[in-house]
Structure 1
Amino acid sequence: MTTFQDWGFLPAFYDILRDQGIVNPTPVQEAAIPKLLEGHDLIAQAQTGTGKTLAFLLPIMQKIRPDVESAQALVITPTRELAIQITAEARKLAAAREGVSVLAAYGGQDVERQLRKLQGGSQLVIGTPGRLLDHMRRGSLQLGKVRMLVLDEADQMLHMGFFEEVESIIRSIPRSRQTMLFSATMPEKVRNLAKTYMKQPQDVRISTKSEIPREQIRQLVIECTDASRERALLDMMERDMPYLGVIFCRTKVRAKQLNQSLQEKGYMSGELHGDLSQAKREQVMRSFRKAKLQFLIATDVAARGIDVEGITHVYNYDVPLDHESYIHRIGRTGRAGEKGLAVTFAAPNDMPELRNIERGIGQKIARERYEASSHSFAPVKNSSVSHEEGGRRAKGDGGQGQGPGASRRGERSSSRSGGRERTGGRGDRAAGSRASSGRAGSSGGRRGSSGAGGSQPRQGGAGRSQGQSGRGGSGGSRDRSRRGGKR
Structure 2
Amino acid sequence: MESIESGSFETNWSQVFTSFDDLGLRKELLRGVYAMGFEKPSAIQQYGIKPIVEGRDTIAQAHSGTGKTATFSIATLEKVDITKKVPQALILAPTRELAGQSKAVLSNLARFMSGLSVHCAIGGTPIDDDIAAFHRGVHIVVGTPGRINDLIRREVLTPATIELIILDEADEMLSRGFSEQIYDIFKSLSSEVQACLISATMPSSILEMTSQFMRDPVQILVKREVLTLEGIRQFHIDVDAESWKIETLLDIYKIISVQQSVIFCNTRTRVEQLVEELKKQKFTVVCIHGEMEQRERDAIMREFRSGTHRVLVATDLIARGIDVQNCSLVINFDIPKNKETYIHRIGRSGRFGRKGIAINFITRDDAEMLKEIERHYETEIPPMPENISSLL
TM-score (norm 1): 0.74
Q: Is the 8 Å Cα contact of residues 31 and 112 (structure 2) preserved in structure 1?
A: no
Distance 1:250 1:208, change over 3 A: closer
Task: Map 1:321-360; keep pairs closer than 5 Å.
Answer: 321-360=337-376
C-alpha separation in 2, matches of 1:272 and 1:305: 15
Q: How does 1:295-444 map to 2 (within 5 A)?
A: 295-368=311-384, 386-388=385-387, 390-393=388-391, 395=392
Q: Secondary structure at the match of 1:220?
A: strand
Cα deviation code 1:171-208 (max 9, x no counterpart): 21112121111111111332133111111101112457
State how far apart, in whole Å, the 2-side matches of 1:298 and 1:213 are: 21
Whether the aligned pair in 1 keeps the contact of 2:257 and 2:389 (CA below 8 Å) is no
Counterpart position of 1:120: 136
Equivalent position of 2:238 in the other structure: 223
- Residue 98 of structure 1 and its aligned partner are, at CA, apart by 2.1
Cα deviation per residue 1:122-172 (whole Å; 9 max; x = unaligned)?
110001111111212222111111001101111122347111111111121
Q: Which residue of 2 aligns with 1:267?
A: 283
- 1: distance between equivalents of 2:386 and 2:357? 10
The match for 2:113 is: 97
Cα distance between partner residues in 2 of 1:28 and 1:9: 17
| Secondary structure of residue in 2 paired with 1:350 | helix
Aligned partners of 2:29 and 2:113 also within 8 Å: no
Residues 228 and 257 (structure 1), Cα distance of their counterparts in 2 relative to 1, 3 Å cut? same
Query: Would the alpha carbon gap of residues 305 and 7 (structure 1) be closer, same or farther in structure 2, given more than 3 Å must change?
Result: closer
Q: How many residues get paired?
A: 375
**What letter corresponds to residue 235 of structure 1 in structure 2?**
D
* Equivalent pair of 1:158/1:189 in contact (CA under 8 Å): no
Q: Which has the higher helix share?
A: 2
Q: Pairwise mapping of residues 178-327 of structure 1 onto structure 2 (< 5 A)?
A: 178-207=194-223, 209-214=225-230, 216-224=231-239, 225-327=241-343
- Is contact 1:322–1:356 with CA below 8 Å preserved after alignment? no
Distance in 2 (alpha carbons) for counterparts of 1:302 and 1:160: 19
> What is the identity percentage for the equivalent residue pairs of Structure 1 and Structure 2?
35
Cα pair 2:169 2:198 within 8 Å, conserved: yes
**Partners of 1:254 and 1:158 in 2: CA distance:** 28
The one of 102, 118, 126 aligned to 1:110: 126
Task: Check whether the contact 1:106–1:128 (CA below 8 A) recurs between aligned residues.
Answer: yes
Task: Assess if the C-alpha contact under 8 Å between 2:59 and 2:218 holds in 1.
Answer: yes
Unaligned runs of 5+ in 1: 369-385, 396-487
Aligned residue type for 1:317: F
Measure, in 1, the Cα distance between the counterparts of 2:171 and 2:79: 27
Question: Is the Cα contact below 8 Å between 2:235 and 2:360 reproduced in 1?
Answer: yes
Q: Is 1:155 aligned to 2:171, yes or no?
A: yes
Shift of 1:240: 1.7
Structure 2 runs not aligned, ≥5 long: 1-16
Q: Tell me: CA distance 1:70–1:193, structure 2 relative to 1, closer, same or farther (3 Å).
A: farther
Instruction: State the shift of 1:311 in Å.
Output: 0.6
The Cα of 1:321 is off from its aligned counterpart by 1.0
3-state DSSP class of the match of 2:226? coil
Cα distance in 1 between the residues matched to 2:383 and 2:307: 30
Q: For the structure 1 residues 248 and 160, does the alpha-carbon distance in structure 2 shift closer, same or farther, using more than 3 Å as the test?
A: farther
How far does residue 95 in structure 1 lie from its aligned partner after superposition?
Answer: 2.4
Amino acid at match of 1:331: G
What's the offset of the Cα at 1:364? Answer: 2.5
Contact 1:41 1:178 in 2 (8 A): yes
Matched residue, 2:56: 40
The answer as to 2:37 corresponding to 1:5 is no
AA in 1 matched with 2:284? M
1:97 and 1:160 map into 2 onto residues whose CA distance is 38
**Aligned Cα RMSD in Å?**
1.5
- For 2:242 and 2:329, the matched residues in 1 are separated by 21
In structure 2, what is the equivalent of residue 75 of structure 1?
Answer: 91
Q: Is the 8 A contact 2:305 2:325 kept in 1?
A: yes
Distance 1:51 1:222 in 2: 31
Give 1 or 2 for the bigger CA radius of gyration.
1
Q: Aligned letter for 2:45?
A: Q
Separation in 2, partners of 1:127, 1:274 = 16
What residue is the counterpart of 1:134 in the other structure?
150
Query: Which residue in the other structure is 2:193 paired with?
Result: 177
Maintained 8 Å contact 2:262/2:313:
yes
CA contact (8 A) 1:69 1:121 kept: yes
- The separation in 1 between residues aligned to 2:316 and 2:74, in whole angstroms, is 29
CA distances 1:235-272 after superposition (whole Å, capped 9, x unpaired): 11221222110000000111111112212221111111
Q: Does the C-alpha gap of structure 1 residues 207 and 242 become closer, same or farther in structure 2, counting only changes over 3 Å?
A: farther
Counterpart of 1:198 in structure 2: which amino acid? M
1:88 aligned to 2:104? yes
Q: Secondary structure at the match of 1:144?
A: helix
Alpha-carbon distance, 1:218 to partner: 0.7
Query: Aligned to 2:161, what secondary structure does the other structure show?
Result: coil
Conserved? CA contact 2:53–2:75, under 8 Å: yes
**Separation in 2, partners of 1:87, 1:153:** 15
Instruction: Give the secondary-structure state (helix, strand or coil) at the position aligned to 1:341.
Output: strand
Q: Which residue does the alignment assign to 1:146?
A: 162
Q: Is the 8 A contact 1:252 1:273 kept in 2?
A: yes
Displacement of 1:305 in angstroms is: 4.1
Quick one: which of 43, 66, 71 aligns to 1:27? Answer: 43
The AA in structure 2 aligned to 1:392 is S
